[in-house]
């Protein structure tokens, strides 16, 4: 399988401070592959995602290597100039975060926000652009796309906001989607729908996925391979089924046991992907 993303010995430091927050992390992601990143709060999952997106801000600093296979050739994200990163963000890699407002502008109508990447990356104008905005909203199963396009973000529900954020992440047709706890902030009744949407969008477009969560059953249902992080390091990595049925490390065993204990309380919700 061709590697779309290769992370090698990635560390993230606070400039001038001691121990790294992300420490010597390596993994690879092939075209069309879905990778789950799991670990407790503070284990370094989000910083790893931000590093891949080239979004670490001072005083955070990455070292090591993050290579993305972009259309015009490989891009080394660590140390890349802003202009180089602008060419891969959106078109090679898109992102959805826990809090949709992280990627949405409260002062701009939703349609105008979506129009921007469609114009920039796909060169659309006029009627074609207006149609593409409505199609992008319909693609994320938002009813009444015309009304949503005219709305500001505070005029739609939390679940609808996350769907808009997904539409925005997909607008430039990236080859890789990074979803960082995309359902954690949502009402439990809308989590399942948003997860299904991410899964179907990734499958239909043949995209690769990095799915970050602290929720093992959710990751089990979505990822081909899993990376387990703790205290900034990868403690275990492997094919999802194998890793969950025979975890080698004590920490992974604890995570699996905790999920199974919960599973026993919810007999209708099997570990393997049935939940939310
Ligand atoms: N800007 C920052 N400056 C200093 N430390 C930071 C900064 N951002 C994050 N950290 C620290 O880095 C560590 C890893 O944070 P990170 O957000 O990657 O964890 P996480 O695994 O994504 O957690 P969660 O599941 O709660 O989102 C944490 O100890 C956090 O406090």
CATH of residue 243's domain is 3.40.50.300
Q: Is the CB of 20 under 6 A from ligand 1?
A: no
Domain of residue 232, residue span: 3-265
Task: Give mean pLDDT, residues 51-67.
Answer: 95
For the CA of 43, the nearest atom of ligand 1: 21
Q: In this model, does residue 264 exceed pLDDT 90?
A: no
Tell me, yes or no, whether 273 lies in a domain: no
Tell me, yes or no, whether 274 lies in a domain: no
User: What is the C-alpha to C-alpha distance for residues 142 and 140, in angstroms, rounded to an integer?
Assistant: 6
> Which residue has the CA at smallest separation from atom 20 of ligand 1?
42
Q: Is the CB of 43 under 6 A from ligand 1?
A: yes
Count of the separate structural domains present in the chain? 1
pTM above 0.90, yes or no: yes
Tell me, yes or no, whether 276 lies in a domain: no
Tell me, yes or no, whether 272 lies in a domain: no
Tell me, yes or no, whether 270 lies in a domain: no
Tell me, yes or no, whether 275 lies in a domain: no
In this predicted structure, what is the pLDDT of residue 274? 44
Å from CA of 150 to ligand 1 middle: 36
In this predicted structure, what is the pLDDT of residue 258? 87
User: What is the C-alpha to C-alpha distance for residues 11 and 108, in angstroms, rounded to an integer?
Assistant: 36
- In the chain, DSSP assigns E strands to 3-14, 22-30, 34-39, 60-70, 73-76, 93-96, 176-180, 208-213, 225-230, 233-239
> Which residue has the CA at smallest separation from atom 26 of ligand 1?
41
Å from CA of 39 to ligand 1 middle: 12
Q: Give the ipTM.
A: 0.97
% of residues, the chain, pLDDT over 90: 78
**C-alpha to C-alpha distances, 37 to 5, 44, 209, 264, nearest whole angstrom:** 14, 10, 10, 24
In this predicted structure, what is the pLDDT of residue 91? 87
In this predicted structure, what is the pLDDT of residue 28? 96
Q: In this model, does residue 109 exceed pLDDT 60?
A: yes
From first CA to last CA, the distance across the chain in angstroms is: 30
Å from CA of 180 to ligand 1 middle: 13
Tell me, yes or no, whether 271 lies in a domain: no
Å from CA of 254 to ligand 1 middle: 22
Q: In this model, does residue 150 exceed pLDDT 90?
A: yes
Q: Is the CB of 14 under 6 A from ligand 1?
A: yes
pLDDT band at 71 (very low <50, low <70, confident <90, very high): confident
Q: Is the CB of 18 under 6 A from ligand 1?
A: no
% of residues, the chain, pLDDT over 70: 95
Tell me, yes or no, whether 26 lies in a domain: yes
Q: Is the CB of 245 under 6 A from ligand 1?
A: no
């Amino acid at each position: 399988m061709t590697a779309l993303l290769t992370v090698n010995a990635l560390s993230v430091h606070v400039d001038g401070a001691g121990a790294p927050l992300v420490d010597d992390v390596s993994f690879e992601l092939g075209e069309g592959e879905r990778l789950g990143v799991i670990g407790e709060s503070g284990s370094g999952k989000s910083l790893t995602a931000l590093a891949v997106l080239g979004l670490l801000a001072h005083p955070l600093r990455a070292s090591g290597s993050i290579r993305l296979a972009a259309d015009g050739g490989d891009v080394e994200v660590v140390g890349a100039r802003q202009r180089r990163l602008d060419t891969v963000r959106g078109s090679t890699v898109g992102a959805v975060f826990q809090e949709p407002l992280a990627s949405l502008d409260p002062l701009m109508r939703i349609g105008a926000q979506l129009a921007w990447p469609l114009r920039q990356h796909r060169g659309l104008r006029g009627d074609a652009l207006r149609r593409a905005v409505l199609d992008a909203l319909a693609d994320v199963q938002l009813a009444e796309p015309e009304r949503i396009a005219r709305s500001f973000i505070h005029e739609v529900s939390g679940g609808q906001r996350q769907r808009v954020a997904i539409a925005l992440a997909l607008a430039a047709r990236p080859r890789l989607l990074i979803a960082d706890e995309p359902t954690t902030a949502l009402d439990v009744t809308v989590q399942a729908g948003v997860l299904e949407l991410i899964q179907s969008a990734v499958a239909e477009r043949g995209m690769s996925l990095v799915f970050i969560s602290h929720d093992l059953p959710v990751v089990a249902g979505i990822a081909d391979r899993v990376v387990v992080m703790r205290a900034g390091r990868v403690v275990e990595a492997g094919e999802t089924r194998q890793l969950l049925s025979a975890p080698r490390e004590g920490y992974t065993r604890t995570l699996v046991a905790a999920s199974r204990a919960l599973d026993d309380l919810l007999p209708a919700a099997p570990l393997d992907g049935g939940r939310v």
